Structures are given as C-alpha cells and as structure tokens.
Amino acid sequence: MDHPTDHTGPGGLPRSDVGMKCSRCRGPARHRLPSHNARFCDHCLEVFFKRQVEKAIKQFDMLQFGQRVLVAVSGGKDSLALWQVLTEMGYPAEGVHVALELGDGKFGEASLASSQEMAQRLGAPLHVFNMAKLAGFSVQEIAWANKRSFCSVCGTLKRYHLNKLALDLDCDVIATGHHLDDEAARLLGNLVRRHTQYLESQWPTLPGVPGAFAKKIKPLCRLRGAEVKSYAKAHGLPVARGECPRSKGATLPYYTEAVRMLEERMPGTGLNFYMGYLEQKDGPPAAPKDFNQCPSCGMPTFAETCTVCRFLERTKEREERKARAAETSGQL
Ligand code: AMP
Ligand code: ZN
C-alpha cells in the first residue's frame, strides 16, 4: 500500500518519474532536464554534460588542449563537477582551494576535506592556501577595519589570491564552477541595478595579460545548477554539505530565486536570457590595459596601490590604534 507522504519510488526517483524513458537511448531515465525538454539515464547525462562543456569551451575560446588549467575548488558540487569533467576531457587540471575561517569551523573544514578527497579520487594535485595566513589578518578584522561586509572582503581577497597563485604556479587559466543559474542571476541583478561597469565584464571568458592577470573561464556556463547537481550525484562526488554561514544578507540569492521561478514556469528562459544577452554584445571584454603595478605587492592595479594592500594598511593602522589604546589604559 502506498504511504500517503512517501513521494519516492524505486531507485530514489520521485514517484511521478518512475518508468520515464531516456530521451536518447530509451532506457530507464534517472534525470529530468526540463530546460531541454529531456530525460536522461546516467550515461546519456554524461554525454549531454560533456557536450555542453565542450560547446562552451569552443564558443567562448576558453581552453586549448595541453594548456595548464587551475580549477578553483570550493568543495561544493559545482567546482567538483567542473574538476571531474575537465579531467575526463583530457585537460591537465590542478585544484586550488582557499581555506577560510568563517567563524563556524564546520563548513570550512568540510569544504577542505571534500576538496582533498576529490584530489585523491582524480589523482590530481590540490594546492591549499589559508586565507588568514596569506593576508596576515582574519577576513573579519579586515572587514571591520575597512567598514566592508564580510562577503565583499572575502570575495576581493579570494579573487586577488587566486590570480596571484595562478601566476606564481605558471598556470595559463583559472576555471571556476559558476553555472548558468549563477550567471543569469548576476546578469539580472546587474541589469536591474544598472551596474554598467559589471555588465561590461559579464562574459564567460575574461582574457588574461601575461604576468599580470590569469585568463578566467566558466566552462559550466551553459548548464543549470540542477543539471550540475545531477552530474555530481551520478558520479557520487564527495560534495561538502552545508552552506557558507556568512552568506546571509547577500542580494544575489533573490535574483537566483527569480531566475529559478521563471525557469519553473517557462523552461529554457535562463539559457535564452543569458545567451541572448551575450549574443547582442560585441564579444568578450578587451584585455585589461593601462594598469599600474602596486608598489607594495607588485600585483596589477587600476589605482596607485591595489585594493588588497589598502585593505591591509587600514587594518594594520586599526590594530596599532587598538594596541596604543590598550597601552594607555594600562598606564592609567
Ligand atoms: P561561490 O561564489 O561561492 O558560488 O563560488 C563560485 C566559484 O568560485 C566556485 O564554483 C569555485 O570555483 C570558486 N570558489 C569559491 N570559493 C572558493 C574557495 N574557498 N577556494 C577556491 N575556489 C573557490
Ligand atoms: Zn598590492
């Protein structure tokens, strides 16, 4: 007898999906892809997934065979799936994980453990860096001293260090796990807020400049989050559970929710919206030029001193003020 609250059928499928056939091979299907009006078995999902990644790589001139690529691995499903698929496609992909202290040890630890387990599965190198050690201060201290949100400081430091590490490791390209839902949500947010400067750099490949900026690519940009999740599940990838305890208060999730709602009512909207926007642009943004070299760290900057060094200077000043105040109150 059916249990009234049990919606799961054999093989963990929703009851409504039991008996559905793969759109390619007509065998039993496990994955539903409404945006493509398709259902796939594990094997055909794999074929579909690789084709989409290959298409993105070609369409946006992301990678050439033999190029060394550094995958930014957070331990979440997106970057693990990306690392898996690039490796299977024959790109020599190394991982880099930036370990963060987020005030809640568990998420940071789980993210690192997942990244390490994935490296072991693939037999690929994983470079691990501790953000606080790299910066000399904790993200929270830098955020307080610069009156910025934790997320914005964390994002700036991550981008800066990933770029620096890619240059230090002599890697040509950095790949991140951003997928179609991320990019469509970011595009919607930038259009709503008319952030023209961010709109200009909205492209899945950002060209590099030797010795200054690594090329940045998003090979999952044609795939929906749910499709990446299906791929990660089909491969049994060691995905870290939970979410960043510091991400509350960010506005991007509202745009992500809006895109998801549109997709639910009108499958395929996200891909049309994002790819349609890119098609009517002139092409990728030009490689950065007219930048200076930061006198403190040597990294490229469009100001005199780079944002990260300014962050650190202000944090140092604040810590010194605090130390002087503590000394004075001790003398009283
Ligand atoms: P998020 O903004 O957290 O959704 O992350 C987007 C992408 O940035 C991920 O798919 C990873 O490729 C990369 N990334 C995020 N956090 C880290 C991290 N701690 N270390 C290395 N790469 C990361
Ligand atoms: Zn600097």
Determine if ligand 1 sits within 6 Å of the CB of residue 44.
no
Determine if ligand 1 sits within 6 Å of the CB of residue 177.
yes
Q: Which residues surround ligand 2, an ion (CB under 5 A)?
A: 294, 296-297, 306, 309
Q: Which CATH number fits domain 60-289: 3.40.50.620, 3.40.50.720, 3.40.1190.20, 3.40.50.150?
A: 3.40.50.620
Domain segments of the chain as ranges: 60-289, 290-327
Determine if ligand 1 sits within 6 Å of the CB of residue 240.
no
- Contact at 8 Å (CB) between 162 and 72? yes
- Indicate the residue type of 319: E
Cα torsion 168, 176, 150, 254 to 10°: value is 170
Mutate to test the pocket of ligand 1, among 74, 158, 163, 216 (most ligand atoms within 8 A of CB): 74
Task: Please give the chain's pLDDT, 332 residues, in tens.
Answer: 334 444 555 555 555 566 799 999 999 999 999 999 999 999 999 999 999 999 999 999 999 988 889 999 999 999 999 999 999 999 989 999 998 876 666 888 899 999 999 999 999 999 998 887 777 888 889 999 999 988 889 899 999 999 999 999 998 899 999 999 999 999 999 999 999 988 988 999 999 999 999 999 999 999 999 999 999 999 999 999 887 777 666 778 899 999 999 999 999 999 999 999 999 998 899 999 999 999 999 999 999 999 999 999 999 999 888 888 888 877 66
Determine if ligand 1 sits within 6 Å of the CB of residue 112.
no
CA-based torsion, 59, 61, 65, 71: positive or negative: negative
- Contact at 8 Å (CB) between 196 and 281? no
Which runs of E-coded beta strand occur in 11-137? 31-33, 38-40, 69-72, 93-99, 126-130
Q: Give distance in angstroms: CA of 32 to centre of ligand 2.
A: 47
- Contact at 8 Å (CB) between 178 and 216? no
Q: Give distance in angstroms: CA of 164 to centre of ligand 2.
A: 11
The burial of 172, by beta-carbon neighbours within 10 Å (0-12 exposed, 13-18 middle, 19 or more buried), is given as middle
Contacts of 15 (CB under 8 A, 6+ apart): 6, 7, 8, 9
DSSP of 214-272, one letter per residue?
A: -EEE-TBTTS-HHHHHHHHHHTT--PPPS--TT-TT-SHHHHHHHHHHHHHHSTTHHHH
Tell me which residue has its CA closest to atom 10 in ligand 1. Answer: 177
- Indicate the residue type of 285: P
Phi, psi dihedral angles at 307 (to 5 degrees): -55, -40
Q: Give distance in angstroms: CA of 166 to centre of ligand 2.
A: 16
Q: Give distance in angstroms: CA of 109 to centre of ligand 2.
A: 29
111 alpha carbon, closest ligand: 1
Tell me which residue has its CA closest to atom 16 in ligand 1. Answer: 74
